[in-house]
Structure 1
Amino acid sequence: MKKIIVAFVAVLSLLTACSKNNDIQIDSNKFGQVKIKFDHIVNSKKLVLNDYTYSNSHSEIFNVTTLKYFVTNVKFTKSNGETYTVLKEDSYFLIDAVNAHSLNPNILIPEGEYTGLEFNLGVDSLTNTLPVEKRTGVLNPATNGMYWEWNSGYIHFKIEGNSPQANNPNNSYKYHIGLFGGYSTPTVNNNRIVRIDLTKAGISKVQEHLSSDIHLMVDIGKIFDAVHPISIQKNPVVMQSGPHTFIADNYAQMFMHDHTHNFQKIVQHEN
C-alpha cells in the first residue's frame, strides 16, 4: 500500500507540473526572453572549422574556415495570426562561427505562445542606406569585415574555406554574397526571408523572468546543394559576379527547427 501511495503522489506531482507549464498565465504587458540557438552542421556532421571532412553533391571535398551572416528584422507569430515585430534597433545580429556568444542571440518579447519565427537573412535596403552614424554595433561598417567599401553595401553572407577542387592559391574558395536592390542604381536583391514553423517541434512559450530557447539546426551543406547545385571547381569565388542569387536561394534553406526548451532559467554571464 505504501508503494502505491508513493507512486500515486509521484504521478500526481508530474501531472501538476505538466498542467502548470501547459496552462500558463499570459500578460502581454510583461516581457520574457527568447533565445535563438544557431547550431551549425554540414549535412549530418557537426561543423568544425578547418575540418576537411565535408563534401557536396559534386563529390568536392571542402572545409570551412570562415562563416558569418546577418540575421535581422525578427518577427514572431502567435497561433491566432497576431505578429510581434521586434524593434528594428534590437533586431540586428551577426552570427559568426568563431564567436560562441553570437550563436545564441537573446530577444525580449511579450509573454505568449508563439507558433512561428521569421527573420531576414541579410541587411535590408533601408538599413543599407542609413546615415553611417546610425549604423552601430554589428552594423558598424568599419568592423566585422561584412561591408563592401567599394560597393557601399553589406555582405549578407560570407563563407570561406579550402577545397582541392578550387583552382586558386591555397585551393581557397570564398562566397561573399551581398546586394540589396540598389540605391540610385537598381541591383538584384539577395536578402532572403526565412520563415520557421515552430508547431512541429515545440512552440515557444514566453514567460517573464524565464527563457524560451528555440534551437535551430543550420545546415551549411545547403549552400551547395539546396535549390541550385553549386560546384566549387566551377565557382571558387562568388561576389558580385557568378551565381550569387543561386547561393542566396540556397542559404534561405539552411534552417530547420529542431526543438524548443521552454521555462528555462536565465543564466547571467559576466562580461
Structure 2
Amino acid sequence: MYKTLLIGFVFNFFFFQASFAQKAADSLILKLHLKFGKDDLELGKKYVSTKKDTLQIDVFKFYISNIEIQYSDKKVYNPTNSYHLIDIENSNSLRIPIGYKNNLAIKNVFFNIGIDSTASVSGALEGDLDPTKGMYWAWQSGYINMKIEGKSSSCKTRKNEFQFHIGGYMKPSYAIRKVQLEAKNQEIDVSIDVSEFFSAIKLSKINSIMIPGKEAMELADYSIKMFKTE
C-alpha cells in the first residue's frame, strides 16, 4: 500500500509540474528589466550619470496601467484591471501576466506610466492601488506615478538626498505619459534604463520635486525615454 501511495504521489507531483510549466509557456508576460546604462540597477550601488553626477538609488517605484497589446492583424487586447505597481524591492512585480498567447505576432505594446483620474478619485482601493503602498498623495493630487529617491554628492541637501515624486492627474498638471513600444518577438521584454532619466537632470540644480506642477510635467516627459524593448 505504501508503494502505491508513493507512486501516486510521484505521478501527481510530475503532473502538477507539467501543468504549471505548460500554463507558464502559454502565458503572455510583460517582463521588465531595470537598468542603469548597460548595468543591472541595484539599490545602493554607485553609478555615474552622463551629467557626471555620482549617485545611488534607494527607492524606485512606478505604476504601469492600461496595458494594450496590438497584434499584427491590428486587433488590440486590453487586460482588465490593468494597474501594476513596479517596485525594485519586489522582484515579482517585474513580471506582469497579461493573458494567453495566440498564434498572432505582437506588433506594439502600449501602456501608461501612472494612474488615471478614475482610479485617483475612487477612494480607498486595494492591491497595488492601496494607499499603504506609499504611492498616494491625496484625492486632490492622486497617485505618485513614479518615485525615485537616492543620494548624490552633487546634492547640497540633508544627507545629500534627492527625491523625485512625479504625479498629477488634473490639467494643466497632467503627468501621466503613454508609452508605445514595438515588439520584437512573441515575448515582451522591456528595459527600463534609469540613466536616461538622470541624463536630463543636473542634481546640483534639481534634486527635489514633491508635488504636481510644471517641473513634474517635465520629469514625466523625461521618464518616457527610459522604456525600450529588448
Q: Shorter-chain-normalised TM-score: which range? A: 0.7 to 0.9
Hey, what's the Cα distance between the residues in 1 that align with 2:222 and 2:180?
Answer: 14
Structure 2 residue corresponding to 1:139, chosen from 121, 129, 133: 129
Hey, what's the Cα distance between the residues in 2 that align with 1:169 and 1:252?
Answer: 29
The number of aligned residues is 204
Hey, what's the Cα distance between the residues in 2 that align with 1:68 and 1:112?
Answer: 33
Structure 1 residue corresponding to 2:138, chosen from 125, 149, 156: 149
Question: 1:47: how far off?
Answer: 0.8
Judged with a 3 Å threshold, the aligned counterparts in structure 2 of structure 1 residues 92 and 150 are, in CA distance, closer, same or farther, namely closer
Cα RMSD for the two superposed structures: 1.8
Q: Percent of aligned positions with the same letter in both sequences?
A: 28
Alignment of 1:192-231 (within 5 A): 192-198=177-183, 201-202=184-185, 204=186, 213-225=187-199, 229-231=200-202
Larger Rg belongs to: 1
Question: 1:112: how far off?
Answer: 3.8
Tell me, what secondary structure is at the counterpart of 1:243? Answer: helix
Aligned AA (2:204): Q
Gap regions ≥5 residues in structure 1 = 1-31, 205-212, 259-271
Tell me, what secondary structure is at the counterpart of 1:117? Answer: strand
Counterpart of 2:14 in structure 1 is: none
- The alignment's TM-score, normalised by the length of structure 1, stands at 0.71
Gap regions ≥5 residues in structure 2 = 1-25
| Kept in 2: contact 1:121–1:194 (CA 8 A) | yes
1:82 equivalent to 2:75? Answer yes
| Kept in 2: contact 1:238–1:244 (CA 8 A) | yes
Judged with a 3 Å threshold, the aligned counterparts in structure 2 of structure 1 residues 105 and 157 are, in CA distance, closer, same or farther, namely same
Counterpart of 2:163 in structure 1 is: 174
Hey, what's the Cα distance between the residues in 1 that align with 2:127 and 2:164?
Answer: 24
Question: 1:196: how far off?
Answer: 0.7
Counterpart of 2:114 in structure 1 is: 122
Tell me, what secondary structure is at the counterpart of 1:215? Answer: strand
Q: Runs in 1 of length 4+ with deviation above 6 angstroms?
A: none
Tell me, what secondary structure is at the counterpart of 1:155? Answer: strand
- The alignment's TM-score, normalised by the length of structure 2, stands at 0.83
| Kept in 2: contact 1:70–1:156 (CA 8 A) | yes
Hey, what's the Cα distance between the residues in 2 that align with 1:127 and 1:151?
Answer: 12
Question: 1:110: how far off?
Answer: 6.2
Hey, what's the Cα distance between the residues in 1 that align with 2:119 and 2:222?
Answer: 23
Counterpart of 2:34 in structure 1 is: 40
Question: 1:246: how far off?
Answer: 1.6
Hey, what's the Cα distance between the residues in 2 that align with 1:254 and 1:140?
Answer: 26
1:50 equivalent to 2:44? Answer yes
Hey, what's the Cα distance between the residues in 1 that align with 2:70 and 2:33?
Answer: 22
